[in-house]
Structure 1
Amino acid sequence: MEPKENGKEPGRVIEGPTNPMVTPLLNDLYQFTMAYAYWKAGKQNERSVFDLYFRKNPFGGEYTVFAGLEECVKFLANFKLTHQEIDYVRDSLPGSEEAFCDYLRGLDCSDVEVYAIPEGTVVFPKVPLMRVEGPVGVVQLLETPFLNLVNFASLVATNAARHRFVAGKSKSLLEFGARRAQGPDGAISASKYCYLGGFDATSNVAAGKLFGIPLRGTHSHAFVSSFMSTDEIVDKVLQSADGETTCDDFISLVQTWLTKIQYSPSLSGFFSETNQSELAAFISYALAFPKAFLALVDTYDVMKSGIPNFCAVALALNDLGYKALGIRLDSGDLAYLSTEARNFFCAVERELKVPGFGKMIVTASNDLNEETIDALNKQGHEVDAFGIGTYLVTCYAQAALGCVFKLVEINNQPRIKLSEDVTKVSIPCKKRSYRLYGKEGYPLVDIMTGENEPPPKVGERLLCRHPFNESKRAYVVPQRVEELLKCYWRGSAGEAREELPPLKEIRDRCIKQLENMRPDHMRRLNPTPYKVYYSLLQKCLKAHVLVFKKKIFVYVFSVIAG
């Protein structure tokens, strides 16, 4: 076997994290103070197991989309402190010995193993998203970077999935959040994970280049208001789509169609005279992008100016073999305006005998979120695509997911974190996780077992218990069993591991996962909680009442030796 360097196998070199600021120094100081204390006590090489998980689903829902795994693996594969970074760490730890710097110089992730649920999977509280095994000195230094890479990624992917759910499968969703995101990385990450969560495209050019996400975008109100009249348009020539003919005066062709619209019996009632500066802007944009003409029509007046001006330009393009894409609405009563615009397009199709004109795309933007899209659905609308920014990329409805990274085993001895708050009690020992499916194909429960317990079997009845409430238990007979944790990093062990799929495959997985969930788990309001249980097949855990305070019983688990 060929040698490996820093956990990278020949032919399988993994590039570094997308953001070059993701280095071992993207860490909390206490990770390095602990690393030094471990080293000082001679414990740095003790074998540890940490679980990364979250305690509560976000946005008042009952599911979460796991994201960020790829960036974690990239971080692992390239984990190495530079000389300058080591010098800075030494200076930040007054009194630390020079020999600790030698330890840091030799530090990498070649002895670390990471088992994770595949990225894009629908996941639930308490179930480990990642299980990280390795020398405690180095694994402790992975905590903050991993939480940083997973928390926001999973939160924004879940936010995107929720917007997709309320919008429906047939609508296009466009991420327009770069200008409102929390800094450059917030914008790039949001674009990536919104796409993963089910969005169709982004306006963020950098994200499009980095991740291959389709780009969408036309022009703003500034472009429209920058024109005064058609006299500013110097080049009026437009070649036909097939290249066989040339229109020498596209402006005159547009004006001809505008006159036809004005004198059409069923269309003239909408307006009397349109804004000519807006018309000039639309003509100019069409001359620049005849194959992708989509106009923002609400700079002045949507129905009295924007729509008829758009239609005149679109009809002129149609004469030359081009097909305009549609319009964007960025203000006003979106339900009413989209419906009126659709009626106008259909009237143009009927009156002027232009097949397919009534199917122009209507895109809506203007600080949209889950609630506004839901309200539009209830009112009735003709919007085909939603451009969503601020509320999507900033996860305005919830600031953070709250993933944690807890020690559950060291030197084969289980460890537990106790708390009077039962939600903060960790579940000890190295675990395996399974998803059990019912006869209808929906997931029934997720179940965690001890590492050495036999896995659940199809068709065999299994006793499942709630990890913190002894009265909650159920027998389940699974029709399909899926093991959730798969190995994505095995350091220098030389054994097989899962490959990192392309973003498009992760997105497809996410969409399929969401479609396969039971509808009552997915609904926006009062969703049915999804069950997460712990197996007691070999009585590896035993419930004890440990704390009685403020009239609250707290149930935790201690491992029975042997």
Structure 2
Amino acid sequence: MATLPNLDSYQHQDLTLSTADYSLLTDLYQLTMAACYVGEGLEQKRASFELFVRRSPENFGYLIAMGLEQALGYLAKLSFSSPQIAALQATGIFAQAGDRFWSLLETGKFTGDVWAVPEGTAVFANEPLLRIEAPLWQAQLVETYLLNTLNYQTLIATRAARLRDVAGKQATLLEFGTRRAFSPQGALWAARAALAGGLDATSNVLAALQLGQQPSGTMAHALVMALSAMSGSEAEAFTAFHRYFPGAPLLIDTYDTIAAAQKLATKVNSGEMELLGVRLDSGDLVTLSKKVRSLLPSVPILASGDLDEWEIARLKAAGAEIDGYGLGTRLVTGTPINGVYKLVEIDGIPVMKQSSGKVTYPGRKQIFRSFAGDQVKADRLGLVTETPLSETPLLQLVVKEGKRVQLPETLGEIRQRTAATVASLPEEARRLTNPMALQVQISEGLQVLTEETKKLTAKGAKLR
């Protein structure tokens, strides 16, 4: 493995991330391509890249766009410090890059435009979640970070929206995924996307406080076992916890779930104890929840333990008496959203990728959505120059010449949009088994441009 022994000042073995590091959180080829653009005199040519998903994960009938706020924060802070430039130079990789490349990095900022669908909006295959219009070197350089935040948060928000749709409006849904998320940064993004996608609260204290939310949680089996061992009983452990957190929900399946519920019922019924909830984390949740409900009829029951939207649907169908769910591993992991970021126009010239299975549509595009009442009727993917046909254009200008032109939205506003968007989708797109995504129509103008671009590309290949 290659190391840089002379760069002690920029080595950080803990691999933590700060906003000052954003510029280097990229794939090497973004920088090498930028250097090539500079060498060829192309770096300032106006370029348009679009971020979209070629196909949704299996059994996903829609995707909920998320991560825009973090993407815009990244673009606003993008810059290269002197130590970062020195670190790049010391690699030796850029030995043939001229002084103009280093000057560009030293003074460069993001100065382009950003078009994006609002967070919480449902999108489908080949529909751009975001478009960058900027000098070529800038538009190229930002690819890695944009894909990182939009892909992951879109996955979590979509899962959260599906969980809410299945569980219903009244169910309490809590995000417990921090310990299973792929990184500390991922845990924060997962918590945000889950809340924006429809969950009620997160157990991640840092995420909750940074988002202006109240963190939520219960207890772990360790507390019950530790206090039981020292005090002699599970009941004493519960009493001790309530001494500091009166009425807090209790985890009752450490030993004998039904025996614990019976003892709690005696205290609740006698007025000796106030209990705001109990949590079941293992066993036959259908049977246990019914028995616990018979003993504690007015106490909310929360279930957890590797739950997802399919398991919640099964529990509901089986008549489980569950009022809320804690979602962790299967919410913050799973099949990834394979969003891609592709060049669609350079210096006013439409371009397209024609690789087998990876063909892209050329030109800057807009999503035109039509409604029948409050229900989504159809989506049309067309060119930005086309006129809406009693349709709503989804992509909005959010950054102009590097400056934001819209105020940041609150988490509540995004959550409301998510709920309204999901409710507006056809039932066949929302179902969990064999969903049918909305068929996106390709406009006549985009079809014509696609064929013309193919012909021009083929003609250019013959001339070469």
Report the TM-score, using the length of structure 1 for normalisation.
0.74
DSSP 3-state at the match of 1:24:
helix
Mapped partners of 2:123, 2:303: distance in 1? 31
Distance 1:123 1:557, change over 3 A: farther
Within the alignment, does 1:416 sit opposite 2:329 as a pair? no
Which letter does structure 2 place at the counterpart of 1:123? V
Question: Is the Cα contact below 8 Å between 1:19 and 1:185 reproduced in 2?
Answer: no
**Within 1, Cα distance between the matches of 2:458 and 2:267?**
71
C-alpha distance in 2 between matches for 1:306 and 1:47 = 67
Find the counterpart in structure 1 of residue 340 from structure 2.
404
Q: Which amino acid aligns with 2:399?
A: W
Alignment of 1:389-538 (within 5 A): 389-394=328-333, 396=334, 398=335, 400-421=336-357, 424-438=358-372, 440-456=373-389, 458=390, 481-491=391-401, 497-536=405-444
Deviation at 1:109, TM superposition (A): 1.1
Do the aligned residues in 2 keep the contact of 1:278 with 1:309 (CA within 8 Å)? no
Rounded to whole Å, the distance in 2 between the matches of 1:544 and 1:43 is 24
Counterpart residue number, 2:9: none
Q: Distance in 2 between matches of 1:133 and 1:119?
A: 19
Distance in 2, matches of 1:449 and 1:212, equals 39
Deviation at 1:448, TM superposition (A): 2.0
CA contact (8 A) 2:380 2:443 kept: yes
Distance 1:510 1:435, change over 3 A: same
User: What residue is the counterpart of 2:3 in the other structure?
Assistant: none
C-alpha displacement of 1:175: 1.0
User: Is 1:138 aligned to 2:138, yes or no?
Assistant: yes
- Residue in 1 that maps onto 2:12: none
What is the alpha-carbon distance in structure 1 between the residues aligned to residue 405 and residue 79 of structure 2? 21
Q: Map of 1:366-405 to 2, 5 A cutoff?
A: 366-394=305-333, 396=334, 398=335, 400-405=336-341
Structure with the bigger RCO (C-alpha within 8 Å, sep 6+) is: 2
Query: Does the 8 Å CA contact 2:191/2:207 hold for their aligned counterparts?
Result: yes
Which letter does structure 1 place at the counterpart of 2:304?
S
CA distance in 2, matches of 1:228, 1:189: 36
Greater Cα offset, 523-532 or 18-27: 18-27
Q: CA RMSD in A?
A: 2.4
- Paired with 1:52 and 1:528, the residues of 2 have a C-alpha distance of 22
Judged with a 3 Å threshold, the aligned counterparts in structure 2 of structure 1 residues 121 and 538 are, in CA distance, closer, same or farther, namely closer
Extract structure 1 runs of 4+ deviating beyond 6 A: 544-547
**1:120-199 residue pairs with structure 2 within 5 A?**
120-199=120-199
Q: Which of 247, 250, 265 lines up with 1:311 in the alignment?
A: 265
Shift of 1:86: 1.4
- Partners of 2:145 and 2:277 in 1: how far apart? 44
Matches within 5 A, 1:1-12: none
Q: TM-score, normalised by structure 2?
A: 0.89
The Cα offsets for residues 211-239 of structure 1, whole Å up to 9 and x where unpaired, read as: 12332212211111123489x5xxxxxxx
Give ranges in structure 2 of 5+ residues lacking alignment: 1-16, 460-464
Unpaired runs of 5+ in structure 1? Answer: 1-17, 233-275, 346-357, 459-480, 548-555
1:474 counterpart residue number: none
What secondary structure does 2:406 align onto? coil
CA contact (8 A) 1:328 1:365 kept: yes
Q: How has the CA–CA distance of structure 1 residues 22 and 382 changed in structure 2, closer, same or farther, with 3 Å as cutoff?
A: farther
Aligned mates of 2:387, 2:262 — CA distance in 1: 69
Where does residue 103 of structure 2 map in the other structure?
102
**Rg (Cα) greater in structure:** 1
- The one-letter code matched in structure 2 to 1:298 is D
Whole-Å Cα distance in 2 between the matches of residues 545 and 185 of structure 1?
Answer: 41
Count of paired positions: 440
Task: Give the deviation of 1:70 after TM superposition.
Answer: 0.4
**Cα distance, 1:543 vs structure 2:** 4.1
The CA deviation string for residues 119-175 of structure 1, in whole angstroms up to 9 with x for no partner, is 111111101111110110111111111111111110111111122222222211111
Query: For 1:180, what is the secondary structure of its paired residue?
Result: coil
Contact 2:383 2:445 in 1 (8 A): no
Normalized per residue, which structure has more helix? 2
Supply the AA of the counterpart residue of 1:388: L
Contact 1:45 1:135 in 2 (8 A): yes
